[in-house]
């Protein structure tokens, strides 16, 4: 594992964040989590483009080009000596005496590279459970912002109820998971929430969308309700760290047969092939 702070690589235990760091005080920044398979960062360009979108949305001026971030991330992976790892990249509005107004200072860039979080095998084999939870977040969830309090609270509630994920519901419709995108399958058709300011444009969602197209399956990007979820044949979530993961119960109610479905299983296999071929 290795850390990086503003131009230097550090040990992860080194105390490197100044008290007046705005990420720390305000959550005034954006981030990305990138999965590295066999030393190759998966869909790196897409992650960096989303970082740029997030930064622009909060009027944060990145001090490096996407090519420079790409180089930096590759250097960090090399230095970590890890093969399969998670890269966490965070950019904040910098260090300045606490004041809500934007300071005239350089942004802070920090990064960690750690061994990839491996999902226990039985969870992938058997699927996981989820709960419904009110989407209590703000109006701009398409920004991958450091402010994750509602996500954390929803995930913790799910965990305390013995579930893996919280499926968030805003105005009667499912938006996404606390840290994932949600898909359902009904009569062979796959549905997922359309992109809007209310959800994050997941990179895994993007990958799954392209797999669905090449496989000749049907994806409908349309809003769906809790009832639609409970009446569906399959539910699965997507994210960088969970990849494609079947949800087999929601609020204690069985989805379909209560076992991982055929479509989620196929998509997961194709996703593994996509990783190998990248
Ligand atoms: N939605 C939210 C709120 C997330 O935090 C995440 C990732 O952590 C996702 C969706 C999935 O995005 P990605 O596939 O890019 O990891």
Task: Compute the distance from residue 189 Cα to the ligand 1 centre, in Å.
Answer: 23
Nearest CA among 266, 263, 268, 222 for reference residue 242 = 268
Instruction: Answer whether residue 123 shows pLDDT above 90.
Output: yes
ipTM for the predicted complex comes to 0.99
The residue whose CA is least distant from atom 4 of ligand 1 is 179
pLDDT digits (tens, 9 = 90+) for 180-228: 999 999 999 999 999 999 999 999 999 999 999 999 999 999 999 999 9
Task: Compute the distance from residue 205 Cα to the ligand 1 centre, in Å.
Answer: 9
Per-residue tokens: 149: 């309090």
**Dihedral angle, C-alpha 118, 121, 123, 126, nearest 10 °:** 160
Helices 44-57 and 66-80, axial angle in degrees (round to 10): 120
At residue 278, the pLDDT reads: 86
Catalytic site includes residue 223: no
Pairing type for strands 2-5 and 8-10 reads: antiparallel
In which band, very low, low, confident or very high, does the pLDDT at 109 lie, cut at 50, 70 and 90? very high
Best probe residue, ligand 1, of 141, 239, 268 (max atoms within 8 Å of C-beta): 239
H helix or E strand, kind and range, residue 168: strand 165-170
Nearest CA among 57, 32, 63 for reference residue 45 = 32
Can you list the domains of the chain with their CATH numbers?
Answer: 2-115 (3.30.470.10), 121-277 (3.20.10.10)
Q: Given the CA of residue 204, which atom of ligand 1 is nearest to it?
A: 14
At residue 72, the pLDDT reads: 98
Reduced 3-state DSSP string for 174-198: EEEECCEEEEEEECCEEEECCCCCC
Nearest CA among 165, 136, 126, 178 for reference residue 250 = 165
In which band, very low, low, confident or very high, does the pLDDT at 140 lie, cut at 50, 70 and 90? very high
Catalytic residue among 59, 79, 144, 226: 144
Pocket of ligand 1 contains residue 239 by CB under 6 Å? yes
In which band, very low, low, confident or very high, does the pLDDT at 41 lie, cut at 50, 70 and 90? very high
Task: Compute the distance from residue 180 Cα to the ligand 1 centre, in Å.
Answer: 4
Q: Given the CA of residue 33, which atom of ligand 1 is nearest to it?
A: 16
Instruction: Answer whether residue 103 shows pLDDT above 90.
Output: yes
3-state DSSP call for residue 40? strand
Q: What percent of the chain has pLDDT over 90?
A: 100
- Size (the chain), residues: 278
Pocket of ligand 1 contains residue 176 by CB under 6 Å? yes
Task: Compute the distance from residue 227 Cα to the ligand 1 centre, in Å.
Answer: 23
The residue whose CA is least distant from atom 9 of ligand 1 is 180
pLDDT digits (tens, 9 = 90+) for 158-183: 999 999 999 999 999 999 999 999 99
Evaluate whether 132 touches 247 at the Cβ level (below 8 Å): no
pTM over 0.90: yes
Reduced 3-state DSSP string for 58-89: CCCCCCCCHHHHHHHHHHHHHHHCCCCEEEEE
pLDDT digits (tens, 9 = 90+) for 52-65: 999 999 999 999 99
Q: What percent of the chain has pLDDT over 70?
A: 100
């Amino acid at each position: 594992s290795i850390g990086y702070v503003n131009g230097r690589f550090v040990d992860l235990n080194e105390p490197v964040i100044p008290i007046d760091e705005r990420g720390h005080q305000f959550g005034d920044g954006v981030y990305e989590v990138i999965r590295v398979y066999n030393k190759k960062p998966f869909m790196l360009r897409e992650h960096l483009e989303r970082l740029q979108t997030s930064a622009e949305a909060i009027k944060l001026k990145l001090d490096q080009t996407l090519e420079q971030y790409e180089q930096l991330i590759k250097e960090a992976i090399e230095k970590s000596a890890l093969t399969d790892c998670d890269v966490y990249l965070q950019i904040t509005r910098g260090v300045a005496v606490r004041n809500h107004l934007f300071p005239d200072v350089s942004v802070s860039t920090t990064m960690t590279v750690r061994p990839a979080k491996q999902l226990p095998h039985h969870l992938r084999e058997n699927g996981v459970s989820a709960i419904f939870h009110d989407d209590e977040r703000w109006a701009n969830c398409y920004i991958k912002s450091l402010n994750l309090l509602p996500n954390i609270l929803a995930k913790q509630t799910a965990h305390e109820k013995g579930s893996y994920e919280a499926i968030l519901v805003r105005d009667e419709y499912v938006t996404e998971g606390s840290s994932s995108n949600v898909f359902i399958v009904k009569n062979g058709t796959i549905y997922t929430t359309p992109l809007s300011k209310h959800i994050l444009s997941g990179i895994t969602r993007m990958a799954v969308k392209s797999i669905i197209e090449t496989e000749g399956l049907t994806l409908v990007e349309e809003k769906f309700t809790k009832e639609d979820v409970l009446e569906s044949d399959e539910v699965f979530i997507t994210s960088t760290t969970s990849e494609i993961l079947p949800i087999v119960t929601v609020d204690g109610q069985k989805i379909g047969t209560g076992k991982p479905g055929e479509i989620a299983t196929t998509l997961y296999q194709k996703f593994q092939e996509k990783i190998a071929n990248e």
